[in-house]
Amino acid sequence: MVVGEISQERNLLIIGGGPGGYSAAIRGAQLGLSITLIEQADIGGVCLNEGCIPSKIVTHAAAKRTEITHLQELGIGIPENQFDFKKLLSYKDRVINQLRSGVESLCKENKIEMIRGKVTFLATDKIGVENGHQFDIYEFQQVIIATGSTAVMPPFLIEKGERILLPHELFAIEEVPDHLIVRGSDYIALEAASSFAALGAKVSVVIENKADFPFDESVNKELSRLFKKRKIKVHKELQFISTNETKDGITMTFLTDKNVEETICGSHLFVSGTRIPNLEPLGISRFGIDLTDEGFIKVDGNMQTSLPAIYAIGDVTEGPMLAIKAIKQGKAAVASIAGQQTEVDLTFMPVVAHTIPPAVSVGLTEQSAREYGLVVRASQFALGSNGYATLSGKKDGFIKVISDATTEIIQGIHMIGEGAIELSGSFVQLLEMAAREEDLKFPLYAHPGISEGFLEAVEGMVGQAIHAAPVKEKRQSIIFK
Amino acid sequence: MVVGEISQERNLLIIGGGPGGYSAAIRGAQLGLSITLIEQADIGGVCLNEGCIPSKIVTHAAAKRTEITHLQELGIGIPENQFDFKKLLSYKDRVINQLRSGVESLCKENKIEMIRGKVTFLATDKIGVENGHQFDIYEFQQVIIATGSTAVMPPFLIEKGERILLPHELFAIEEVPDHLIVRGSDYIALEAASSFAALGAKVSVVIENKADFPFDESVNKELSRLFKKRKIKVHKELQFISTNETKDGITMTFLTDKNVEETICGSHLFVSGTRIPNLEPLGISRFGIDLTDEGFIKVDGNMQTSLPAIYAIGDVTEGPMLAIKAIKQGKAAVASIAGQQTEVDLTFMPVVAHTIPPAVSVGLTEQSAREYGLVVRASQFALGSNGYATLSGKKDGFIKVISDATTEIIQGIHMIGEGAIELSGSFVQLLEMAAREEDLKFPLYAHPGISEGFLEAVEGMVGQAIHAAPVKEKRQSIIFK
Residue B132 CB partners (closer than 8 Å, separation 6+): none
pLDDT of residue A1: 66
User: Does B246 map to a domain?
Assistant: yes
CA nearest to B301, candidates B341, B348, B338: B341
Span B74-110, pLDDT tens digits: 999 777 667 899 999 999 999 999 999 999 999 999 9
Q: Give the residue from B247, B272, B297 where a domain finishes.
A: B272
If you measure CA to CA, which chain A residue comes closest to B451? A425
pLDDT of residue A473: 56
- In terms of domains, do B282 and B265 share one? no
- Measure CB to CB from residue B444 to each of A350, A390, A467 and give the nearest one: A350
User: Does A462 map to a domain?
Assistant: yes
ipTM for this model: 0.93
HEC secondary structure over chain A? CEECCCCEEEEEEEECCCHHHHHHHHHHHHCCCCEEEEECCCCCHHHHHCCHHHHHHHHHHHHHHHCHHHHHHCCECCCCCCECHHHHHHHHHHHHHHHHHHHHHHHHHCCCEEEECEEEEEECCEEEEEECCEEEEEEEEEEEECCCEEECCCCCCCCCCCCEECHHHHCCCCCCCCEEEEECCCHHHHHHHHHHHHCCCEEEEEEECCCCCCCCHHHHHHHHHHHHHCCCEEEEEEEEEEEEECCCCEEEEEECCCCCEEEEEECEEEECCCEEECCHHHCCHHHCCCECCCCCECCCCCCECCCCCEEECHHHECCCCCHHHHHHHHHHHHHHHCCCCCCCCCCCCCEEECCCCCEEEEECCHHHHHHCCCCEEEEEEEHHHCHHHHHCCCCCCEEEEEEECCCCEEEEEEEECCCHHHHHHHHHHHHHCCCEHHHHHCCCCCCCCCHHHHHHHHHHHHCCCCCCCCCCHHHHHHHCC
- In terms of domains, do B383 and B312 share one? no
pLDDT of residue B1: 66
Q: How far is CA B349 from the centre of its chain?
A: 10
pLDDT of residue A80: 64
- In terms of domains, do B287 and B144 share one? yes
B56 interface with A at CB cutoff 8 Å: yes
Question: One of A235, A268, A447, A467 is an active-site residue; which one?
Answer: A447
- Measure CB to CB from residue B422 to each of A26, A72, A450 and give the nearest one: A450
A220 interface with B at CB cutoff 8 Å: no
- In terms of domains, do A179 and A249 share one? yes
Kindly provide the b/e burial profile for residues B275-298, where b requires at least 16 CB atoms within 10 angstroms of the residue's own CB.
bbbbbeebebeeeebebeeeebbe
If you measure CA to CA, which chain B residue comes closest to A394? B60
Q: Give the residue from B235, B253, B272 where a domain finishes.
A: B272
pLDDT of residue A81: 66
Q: How far is CA A428 from the centre of its chain?
A: 15
- Measure CB to CB from residue B75 to each of A68, A72, A83 and give the nearest one: A83
Cβ pair A445:B424 closer than 8 A? yes
- In terms of domains, do A321 and A389 share one? no
- In terms of domains, do A92 and A141 share one? yes
Cβ pair A327:B68 closer than 8 A? no
Cβ pair B470:A391 closer than 8 A? no
Q: Which domain holds residue A455?
A: 357-479
Answer for the pair B13, B143: CB distance below 8 angstroms, yes or no.
yes
- In terms of domains, do A27 and A80 share one? yes
For A267-385, strand residue ranges (E) read: 268-271, 275-277, 310-312, 351-353, 359-363, 376-382
User: Does B308 map to a domain?
Assistant: yes
A37 interface with B at CB cutoff 8 Å: no
Mutation pick from B429, B431, B437, B467 vs chain A, by most beta carbons of A within 10 Å, is B429
pLDDT of residue B481: 34
Answer for the pair A375, A404: CB distance below 8 angstroms, yes or no.
yes
Answer for the pair B390, B381: CB distance below 8 angstroms, yes or no.
no
- In terms of domains, do B44 and B142 share one? yes
* A464 contacts on B by Cβ (under 8 Å): 27, 30
Cβ pair B76:A64 closer than 8 A? yes
User: Does B171 map to a domain?
Assistant: yes
If you measure CA to CA, which chain A residue comes closest to B462? A30
pLDDT of residue A478: 39
Rounded average pLDDT per 10-residue block, chain A, 481 residues: 81 98 98 98 94 96 93 83 90 97 97 97 96 95 98 83 93 95 95 97 93 93 96 93 92 92 96 92 95 96 97 97 96 98 94 97 96 96 96 96 97 96 95 97 95 96 95 49 34
SS3 at position B21: helix
Chain A closest CA to B254's CA: distance in Å? 35
Cβ pair A450:B421 closer than 8 A? yes
Q: How many domains, chain A? A: 3
- Using only C-alpha atoms, chain A has a radius of gyration, in whole angstroms, of 24
User: Does B350 map to a domain?
Assistant: no
User: What amino acid positions of B are annotated as catalytic residues?
Assistant: 447
Cβ pair A435:B433 closer than 8 A? yes
Round to whole Å and give the CA distance between B52 and B322: 9
Tens of pLDDT along chain B (481 residues) come to 677 668 999 999 999 999 999 999 999 999 999 999 999 999 999 999 999 999 999 999 999 999 999 999 999 977 766 789 999 999 999 999 999 999 999 999 999 999 999 999 999 999 999 999 999 999 999 999 999 999 998 887 777 889 999 999 999 999 999 999 999 999 999 999 999 999 999 999 999 888 889 999 999 999 999 999 999 999 999 998 899 999 999 999 999 989 999 999 999 999 987 899 999 999 999 999 999 999 999 999 999 999 999 999 999 999 999 999 999 999 999 999 999 999 899 999 999 999 999 999 999 999 999 999 999 999 999 999 999 999 999 999 999 999 999 999 999 999 999 999 999 999 999 999 999 999 999 999 999 999 999 999 999 999 999 999 998 754 443 343 3
The CATH number assigned to the domain holding A199 equals 3.50.50.60
- In terms of domains, do A301 and A256 share one? no
B225 interface with A at CB cutoff 8 Å: no
pLDDT of residue A476: 41
User: Does B351 map to a domain?
Assistant: no
- Measure CB to CB from residue B30 to each of A385, A449, A464 and give the nearest one: A464
Cβ pair A391:B82 closer than 8 A? no
Write the CA distances from B465 to A146, A338, B404, integer angstroms.
20, 17, 19
If you measure CA to CA, which chain B residue comes closest to A329? B444
User: Does A342 map to a domain?
Assistant: no
Name residue A109's amino acid: E
If you measure CA to CA, which chain A residue comes closest to B74? A88
The CATH number assigned to the domain holding A459 equals 3.30.390.30
CB neighbours of residue B13 within 10 Å:
25
- In terms of domains, do A144 and A176 share one? no
- A354 flagged as catalytic: no
pLDDT of residue B157: 79
User: Does B156 map to a domain?
Assistant: no
- In terms of domains, do B9 and B97 share one? yes
- In terms of domains, do A430 and A386 share one? yes
Round to whole Å and give the CA distance between A70 and A84: 20
* A79 contacts on B by Cβ (under 8 Å): 77, 79
